Structure 1
Amino acid sequence: MEIRKIRSGETGSIWRLFHDTVHRINQADYSESQLAVWAPDEYDEPRWVSRFIRTRPLVAMDGKFLLGFAELDEDGRIDLFYVHHARQGEGIGRALMQRLKAEAASHGLSRLYCEASITAQPFFEAMSFVALEQRELERRGRRVPVILMEYRA
């Protein structure tokens, strides 16, 4: 497995992994209407390309197969963190998190935080994040519950 920064032309595969993982993994904790506003079926390529130019996410690759990806903002916020729905439990998320933590440390960040899904909360806790509070995000007129979580180095 290789972990590196996104390359040109990979945006569509990242969006597909995001969409499919949300709809297949998070369905245990969220309603169909919540999933639909969280990860809509329409791929807005200009929006995603613009986002990834700004955030430059890390991707985990097995040859040409995308295993997962993660974004780290300059202030330590992890916005998107996803592992392919068929490859969860294989250590891919752990490896991505180790790289995020190393990247954060190299930028002098001692705090990472995220608004994790209910489904992802156990993973983040296993990565030494602490749950601070439950929140609701507004997405296209629907409320989606998340957990504000924090890691301190």
Structure 2
Amino acid sequence: MEIRKIRSGETGSIWRLFHETVHLINQADYSESELAVWAPDEYDEPRWVSRFIRTRPLVAMEGKRLLGFAELSEDGRIDLFYVHHAHQGEGIGRALMQRLKAEAASRGLSRLYCEASITARPFFEAMGFVALAPRQLERRGQPVPVILMEYQP
């Protein structure tokens, strides 16, 4: 498995992984309406391309197959962190997190934080994150429950 920065032309694959994983993995913890506003069925390519030009996410690849991706902002926020629904529990998330932690250390960041889904909370806890508080993110006018979590090396 190779972990590297996103390349041109990979945005559609990342969006598909995001959309499918949200709808297949998070359905146990979220309602259909919450999933629909979190990961809408419409692919807004200009929006996603613009975002990824700005955030330059890491991608986990096996050959040409996308296995996962993660974003790390300048202030230590992990915004998007997803592993392909068919490859959960294979160490891909752990490898991505190790890379994010190394990148954060190289930038001198003293803290990582995220607003994790209810579904992802156990993963982030296993990676050393601590739950701070429940939150509600607004997506298309609807609240979606998440947990504010942080990691301090």
User: Which residue of 2 is the match for residue 27 of structure 1?
Assistant: 27
Within 1, Cα distance between the matches of 2:5 and 2:140?
30
What secondary structure sits across from 2:88 in the alignment? coil
Within 2, Cα distance between the matches of 1:152 and 1:117?
19
User: Which residue of 2 is the match for residue 125 of structure 1?
Assistant: 125
Gaps of 5+ in 1: none
User: Which residue of 2 is the match for residue 108 of structure 1?
Assistant: 108
TM-score, L = length of structure 2? 1.00
Structure 1: which 4+ aligned runs deviate by more than 3 Å?
none
CA apart distance, 1:51: 0.1
User: Which residue of 2 is the match for residue 80 of structure 1?
Assistant: 80
Gaps of 5+ in 2: none
What secondary structure sits across from 2:66 in the alignment? strand
The number of aligned residues is 153
Percent identity of the aligned residues? 89
Residues 34-76 of structure 1: CA deviation (Å, up to 9, x unaligned) = 0000000000000000000000000000000000000000000
User: Which residue of 1 is the match for residue 66 of structure 2?
Assistant: 66
Q: CA RMSD in A?
A: 0.3
Task: Tell me whether 1:9 sits opposite 2:25 in the alignment.
Answer: no
What secondary structure sits across from 2:97 in the alignment? helix
CA apart distance, 1:21: 0.1
CA apart distance, 1:110: 1.6
TM-score, L = length of structure 1? 1.00
Within 2, Cα distance between the matches of 1:110 and 1:100?
13
